[in-house]
């Protein structure tokens, strides 16, 4: 029987595990689309020390686990920009990214009720996945520092004191 997937905030000390998960998925699925400069930029971004610094500042970091194994991660800057969303290859297409995003959005709205849009710079091979999650493409593909991406966004409905499930807040 498969381990149930659990979702929670990243804990201090898990930066190395997050780095290893993201690096593994990135090298397998995304790095072949990037120049060497782009690959190096991403690897610097996911360095455990850089992750730790973001965790201590203005980033929300949530993880998904199966037993003791880290299988997914989402990072959201300032409660309005998805900067990382990675799921281990063997666990993709099981709804984990959607659950991570849903839980992150709840936290974002709780902390910044004024946020009306979440955006992401999606790698070209992740566009369809982000569209399934409710994002729309804002403009054509761009390249910065060797990183190929498509700006995308998801508009958030206004809450007016009512939760998504229909109950009062």
Which residue(s) pair with 85 in the sheet?
A: 74
Domains defined along the chain, listed by start = 5-114 (3.40.630.30)
What is the reported pTM? 0.89
Q: What is the mean pLDDT of each run of 10 residues along the chain (169 residues)?
A: 89 95 96 95 96 88 96 96 96 96 94 94 95 96 95 84 41
């Amino acid at each position: 029987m498969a381990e149930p997937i659990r979702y929670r905030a990243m804990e201090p000390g898990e930066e190395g595990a997050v780095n290893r998960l993201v690096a593994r998925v990135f090298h397998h699925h995304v790095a072949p689309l990037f120049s060497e400069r782009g690959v190096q930029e991403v690897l610097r971004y996911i360095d455990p020390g850089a992750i730790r610094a973001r965790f201590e500042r203005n980033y929300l970091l949530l993880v998904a686990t199966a037993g003791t194994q880290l299988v997914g991660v989402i990072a959201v800057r300032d409660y309005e920009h998805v900067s990382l969303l990675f799921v281990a290859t063997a666990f993709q297409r099981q709804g984990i990214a959607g659950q991570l995003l849903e839980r992150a959005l709840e936290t974002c709205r709780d902390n910044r009720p004024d946020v009306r849009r979440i955006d992401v710079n999606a790698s070209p091979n992740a566009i369809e996945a982000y569209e399934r999650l409710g994002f729309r493409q804002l403009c054509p593909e761009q390249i910065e520092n060797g990183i190929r991406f498509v700006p995308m966004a998801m508009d958030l409905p206004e809450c007016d004191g009512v939760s998504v499930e229909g109950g009062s807040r």
